[in-house]
């Protein structure tokens, strides 16, 4: 009778397992037929009431029944899991017949192309790169560059002031002053690339933010011939071997004498055209011999040391190099504009 009851329990369990449609139903069936309070588990208490020769067979029958129910539950669970996986894969399937997406390789802004080229040219001449803060002290931006307070030449640079003594630098020349201060009378050969700021109305040729690379050379016996040779080599490296430069007298408070530097027009080769307004030359930068006052204020004896300085606008060089007609294009991040400068 006991064995018949075991068989009846197993048959009932198998019938319910076969009819189960969810994982939760299977779990409930497993707990009902295999749990501690299940009929099969309670029947183990009958083993002690049986004759010795029947105990082993009865225990084996209970174990076999539990094992059969367990196996059927596991098999049905495996079917459910496989079905669930197939449904998930079906939902996440990729239609490989769809056209692929085009990924465009990015391009460098010509601003960065030019600043790297200019830097490489001067490094090749033995210059070192020096950097300084964009938020600067009036002392370094003006006073140590021969521009004391109330100096009329300060009006040449309409400045963003943060407070009376702090401002956004109007040029990268403060780096020159800081370098002279740090070198304490030793020879210098540096360039200072970086952003600068001036209060200006933005248009095709002006921007309130722009970049410069300024250079400074200080040593014994430096003269304007060294300045011209340096800038002539730069012009040929940057714009081509056929380009020539000329120096025109000018005024900058921190250099004496001061010069504007022009380069032969690429369009007419120096013959004169509408682009260069018939002169054959286009202005590219300002330069001059370091003013004795600047040398003295920054720890150099002007009777022993001399030097030259120059400043070139990065956007100006890029516009001349690539024929760009609007400085604002450098900052608008228009991919159609920037893509023109990608390396093929």
Residues 76 and 174 in one domain: no
Of the candidates 270, 295, 292, the one whose C-alpha atom is nearest the C-alpha of residue 281 is: 270
**In this predicted model, what pLDDT tens digit does every residue of 29-78 receive, in sequence order?**
777 777 777 777 767 666 666 777 666 776 777 777 778 878 887 888 88
**Torsion, Cα of 330, 332, 337, 340 (10° steps):** 50
Q: In what order do the strands lie in the sheet with 161-163?
A: 135-137, 166-168, 161-163
Residues 248 and 320 in one domain: yes
Asked if residue 84 has a cis previous peptide bond (ω within 30° of 0), the answer is no
Give me 72's structure tokens. 């059927």
The predicted structure's pLDDT at residue 2: 62
Q: Is residue 196 part of a domain?
A: yes
The predicted structure's pLDDT at residue 232: 95
Residues 221 and 278 in one domain: yes
Element (H, E) at 215: strand 209-219
Q: Across 174-208, where does the E strand assignment appear? A: 188-197
Instruction: Say which DSSP state 85 is in.
Output: H
The predicted structure's pLDDT at residue 307: 96
Q: How far is CA 302 from CA 108, 186, 190, 307, 308, in A?
A: 43, 13, 19, 9, 12
**In this predicted model, what pLDDT tens digit does every residue of 238-252 receive, in sequence order?**
988 988 999 999 999
Question: How many domains is the chain partitioned into structurally?
Answer: 2
Residues with Cβ within 8 Å of 270's Cβ and at least 6 positions away in sequence, in order, are: 244, 264, 280, 281
Residues 7 and 85 in one domain: yes
The predicted structure's pLDDT at residue 79: 85
Residues 142 and 255 in one domain: yes
The predicted structure's pLDDT at residue 246: 93
Q: Is residue 290 part of a domain?
A: yes
**Burial readout 299-314 (b: 16 or more C-beta within 10 A, e: otherwise):** ebeeeebbbbbbbbbb
Element (H, E) at 60: helix 52-91
Give me 301's structure tokens. 């004896």
Name residue, tokens 């749990």: 35
Residues 166 and 71 in one domain: no
Of the candidates 29, 41, 21, the one whose C-alpha atom is nearest the C-alpha of residue 73 is: 29
Residue 246 CA to residue 266 CA, distance in Å, equals: 14
For residue 53, count other CB atoms closer than 10 A to its CB: 7
Q: Which residues of the chain have pLDDT under 70?
A: 1-3, 42, 44-49, 53-55, 58, 98, 156-157, 343-344
Of the candidates 210, 198, 147, the one whose C-alpha atom is nearest the C-alpha of residue 168 is: 198
The predicted structure's pLDDT at residue 31: 79
- Cα 30–chain centre separation: 59
The predicted structure's pLDDT at residue 156: 66
Q: Is residue 332 part of a domain?
A: yes
CB-based burial of residue 37 (10 Å sphere; 0-12 exposed, 13-18 middle, 19+ buried)? exposed
Residue 209 CA to residue 114 CA, distance in Å, equals: 17
Q: Is residue 211 part of a domain?
A: yes
Under 8 Å between Cβ of 313 and 110: no
Tell me which of 40, 59, 91 is where a domain ends: 91
> In which domain, by residue range, is 21 found?
2-91
CATH number at residue 294: 3.30.930.10
């Amino acid at each position: 009778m006991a064995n018949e009851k075991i068989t009846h329990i197993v048959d009932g369990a198998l019938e319910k397992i076969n009819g189960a449609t969810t994982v939760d139903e299977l779990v409930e069936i497993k707990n009902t037929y295999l749990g501690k309070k299940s009929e099969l588990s309670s029947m183990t208490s009958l083993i002690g009431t049986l004759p010795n020769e029947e105990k082993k067979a009865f225990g084996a029958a209970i174990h076999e029944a539990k094992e059969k129910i367990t196996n059927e539950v596991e098999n049905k669970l495996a079917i459910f899991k496989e079905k669930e996986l197939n449904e998930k894969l079906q939902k996440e399937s990729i239609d490989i017949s769809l056209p692929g997406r085009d990924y465009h390789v990015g391009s460098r802004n010509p601003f960065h192309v030019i600043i790297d080229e200019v830097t490489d040219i001067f490094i090749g001449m033995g210059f070192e790169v020096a950097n300084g803060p964009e938020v600067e002290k009036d002392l370094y931006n003006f006073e140590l560059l021969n521009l004391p307070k109330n100096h009329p030449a300060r009006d040449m640079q309409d400045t963003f002031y943060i407070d009376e003594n702090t401002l956004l630098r109007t040029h990268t020349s403060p780096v020159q002053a800081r370098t002279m201060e740090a070198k304490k009378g030793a020879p210098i050969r540096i360039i200072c690339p970086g952003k600068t700021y001036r209060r200006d109305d933005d248009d095709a040729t002006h921007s309130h933010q722009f970049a410069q690379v300024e250079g400074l050379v200080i040593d014994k016996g430096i003269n304007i011939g060294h300045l011209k040779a340096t800038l002539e080599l730069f012009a040929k490296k940057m714009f081509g071997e056929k380009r020539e430069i000329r120096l025109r007298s000018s005024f900058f408070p921190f250099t004496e004498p001061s010069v504007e530097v022009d380069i032969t027009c690429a369009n007419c080769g120096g013959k004169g055209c509408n682009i260069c307004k018939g002169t054959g030359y286009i202005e590219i930068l300002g330069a001059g011999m370091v003013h004795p006052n600047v040398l003295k204020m920054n720890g150099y004896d002007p009777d022993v040391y001399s030097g030259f300085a120059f400043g070139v606008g990065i956007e100006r060089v890029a516009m001349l190099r690539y024929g760009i007609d609007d400085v604002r294009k450098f900052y608008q991040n228009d991919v159609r504009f920037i893509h023109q400068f990608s390396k093929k």
